[in-house]
A and B are shown apart, each in its own frame.
Chain A
Amino acid sequence: MTKKRLMRDPLNLIITGVGGQGNVMISLIIGNTFVRDGYFVTIGETYGASQRGGPVMSHVRISKKTQYSPFIPDGCADIILGMEPVETLRMLGRYGNPNVITIINPRPIYSIDVTGGNAEYPDLDKLLETVKELSSQTWVINATEEAQKMGSPMFANAILIGALVGSGVLPLDKKSVGPVLRETFPKEIEANLVAFNKGIKLVRS
């Protein structure tokens, strides 16, 4: 049982990305850890058809007191974990506020609207600037890059969970998350733990 407290109750965490990135897995790990610590957790997800290249967002509501709805009301996000740059900005537009804390993986995934020539992907540096302006605190974590160095882009998930835990914005630590990680990644658990630790290192550097 961790001694730390939620910085707000309910704590509203959004994890956003593109279908197929492993979004759902991150929310599950975080959610399960908190439930075992005695919290109420509600996770709302948009998936199904949207897996096919569409945007995916998970709304995680954490509370000591009661079960909240699976939707974070507009403007009420406390933390945004963005696995893809424009999706992060999309979330800030709707759910951001001056206090929001953002962790962002700056690796673009181009939609077919962009590759097909009907839409422009914004300049990445300018986008990151905007994200910083719209957040009280921002961490840029090159999760995909680091994951590719480890041999597969899928390690980005564990890296980002590490970053989230390492940042201290949630009352979680390695001890509480560790067992849940082991259950969730039965294959390649050691590699994922390495990735997780890398994420902690990255956010603290």
Chain B
Amino acid sequence: MTSIDIDAPGTSQLLVGNEAIARGALEAGVGFAAAYPGTPSSEILGSLAQVAKNAGIYAEWSINEMVAMEAAAGASFAGIRALAAMKQNGINVVSDFLANLVMSGIGKGGLVLVSCDDPSAISSSNEQDTRPIAQWLDIPLVEPGDFQEAKDMTKWLFDLAEELGTLCMLRSVTRIAHARGNVKLGKLPKKQHKAHFDQVHDLKNVMPTTLMPVPSSLRHYFLHVKIDKAREKFESSSFNRYVGPDKADLMVITSGNCWLYSQDAVKALGLENRVGILKLGTLWPMPEKFIRKHLGNSQKILFVEEIDPFLERSVMEIVANLPSSSPRPTFYGKRSGHINAYGELNPNMVIKAISNILLLTYQPRDVEYSKKAEASAKSNVPERSMTFCAGCPHRATFWTIKNAIKLDGRGGIVTGDIGCYSMGLGPAGFFQVRTMHCMGAGAGVANGLGKLGQFGFDQPVLAVVGDSTFYHATIPALINGIYNQSKFILVILDNSATAMTGFQPHPGTGITAMGEPTQAISMEALCRSLGARVEICDPFDLKSTTATLLEMMSEGGGAKVAIMRRQCELLRAKKEKPPYRVYVDTEKCIGEACGCDRLCTRVFLCPGLTWDKKVGKSKIDEVICNGCGVCVDICPQGAIVREAA
């Protein structure tokens, strides 16, 4: 497949948005890249790590975004171009460092931060627009409108960061990050700089080389100077442009992927001669002169952007400062309700908004067909809820947790965290998980609950956390639980992978992002060294794991650890054949007469188990089944059979 370091300048490749960004960094001569896996940003570091050795650069999966950002800044301080990439939640995590970094400035190596938002939280716990941090902390911000710009902007940002002396930010969203499009490649650099931390102290320079935030107010002034310089450059940037008639019935102001949607919408409605699009690529600081120049193109202006009315507010601020004699257009967008203020956008919404404003009707397909198709789909298409893969150890873990809690009988609670196992909230995990927020929050919340004994609280508390999440954010919370004697069990779901984001390695796996073997950090040794009781269980051994959990729940004392150790099924399947052939003995399966009310399919809910309606018995779907054999221990009739494969 196309590697991002292919040496073919001038050719067009089909790249994923994240690959385009990575390629842009390579073309800019990036030397250091760090990130923590987070959908939809993971492939940026992933693809850089794949080519890192050959390209002579360094790429790492840091333990969390804070360290990733700080490490990248370190490289920048020593004159190496550096990049840090993360999803929206990562921005929250690095905000404290950023607030200080903008004050200190960066080193001679340009520093670029890529933030990938996930509108509609398709793969996230929350929906959040990270652009406002640029305004909040004064960070120059760009947003690519397509895949070519994803590459070109990234490349440009390194130059810009060095010219300004401050870190620059690129914001992307799922529909650029994970979508593919044409990217014309540029040249790859030949040499890397030498890394050196310059000790010279030069106060006269706008780019101070003493890299500390204090004295802060003076640094803050310097930051404003940098931002003014950025604004000047943005005024003449080709990433901002206007397409459409000089005088338009409606002008769309947009950025990012919404630029593509807006074009789609205008084309679909056939309004190329009536509707203009003002595409902004440099979003903060706003290119005010450029915008003011185009505000007169139309009496109606529609803002189309993902998640927050960031452009809307910024432009309104410009409008508010116009001389009172200037004409004031009518503005449409999230404030007026023409564009959703929540959830991701798509071309249909833009078509609808434009049609509403210009009082047009739009019929993409024959009305009769439409009615028929929609009715058929509605009545015939069942839901398809997410679940754990067939053979996933989490299913077994949540089964044992559920049973242990029910047997214990005191109304035990499970606090959750981020990963595949977040699905423990729903039927896939038997509705066991009761709280879920951000990385590390599970153990944090458990700490609080575990101290409520004096208020009559006696419900057992279990915090489930994945292995990667454990290293990422949970160690301080565990220390807190031991030190403050908070009564909870930290259940670490150790499937040897950062699975949800694409099986990236982590400190427990003994492999780096670049595929090099390294010291594996043993989680049980770490936890034991903290003084916690640690048990290691195999979740597939349902009986023994349930018993261990029950025993730990009945014990007093502070935080303790139960490690559920079994490899992620998808990882295992890459290396080996399925361990068992599993099938239902149709003599032993007595269907509804069993009295278990279809425990296998109705309750256990492994997608490999189906109900054969014709014979009224359970049946294994051999296309889906991964042969783990756990369901054999679930069936009360012993009708499910496993044979060693």
Contact = CB atoms under 8 A, between A and B. Distances in A.
Given A42-B181, A76-B364, A93-B373, A69 B347 contact: yes
A70 B383 contact: no
A45 interface: yes
Interface string A111-152: 111111111111000110010011000000000100010000
Most chain A Cβ neighbours within 10 Å, of B40, B147, B601: B601
B427 A52 contact: no
Given A115-B605, A115-B607, A144-B623, A42 B180 contact: yes
Interface residues of A, number: 68
A32 interface: yes
B170 to A, nearest CB: 18
A103 interface: no
Contact of B365 (A20, A71, A96, A107): A96
A81 interface: no
Contacts of A43: 14, 179-181
Contacts of A54: 384-386
B178 interface: yes
A46 B122 contact: yes
B427 A48 contact: no
Contact of B369 (A41, A97, A122): A97
Contacts of B428: 52, 112
B175 A114 contact: no
Given A42-B181, A52-B420, A86-B382, A73 B607 contact: no
Interface string A43-56: 11111111011110
A93 B374 contact: yes
A18 interface: yes
Contacts of A183: 1
Contact of B382 (A20, A46, A120): A120
A115 B381 CA distance: 14
A134 B369 contact: yes
Contact of A41 (B180, B264, B387, B598): B180
B611 interface: yes
Interface in B454-508: 500-501
Contacts of B373: 92-94, 96, 134
B487 to A, nearest CB: 32
Interface in B377-424: 377-378, 380-389, 420, 423
B340 interface: no
A115 B609 CA distance: 7
A116 B364 contact: no
B178 A94 contact: no
B182 interface: yes
Contacts of A41: 14, 180-182
Interface of A: 18, 20, 27-28, 31-32, 35, 38, 40-50, 52-55, 66-71, 73-76, 86-87, 89-90, 92-94, 96-98, 107, 109-122, 126-127, 130, 133-134, 144, 148, 153, 183-184
Given A112-B605, A126-B380, 5 more contacts: A46-B122, A73-B265, A86-B384, A110-B610, A111-B385
7 residue pairs, one from A and one from B, having the closest CB atoms? A93-B377, A75-B364, A69-B260, A48-B123, A119-B382, A70-B179, A75-B365
Interface of B: 1-2, 12-14, 39-40, 122-123, 146-148, 174-175, 178-182, 257, 260-261, 263-265, 268, 346-348, 351, 364-366, 369-370, 372-374, 376-378, 380-389, 420, 423, 427-428, 500-501, 598, 601-603, 605, 607, 609-611, 621, 623-624
20 contacts: A31-B180, A32-B2, A35-B13, A42-B182, A43-B179, A45-B179, A48-B122, A53-B387, A53-B389, A54-B384, A55-B384, A67-B182, A73-B264, A73-B347, A92-B376, A92-B377, A97-B366, A113-B382, A115-B602, A134-B369
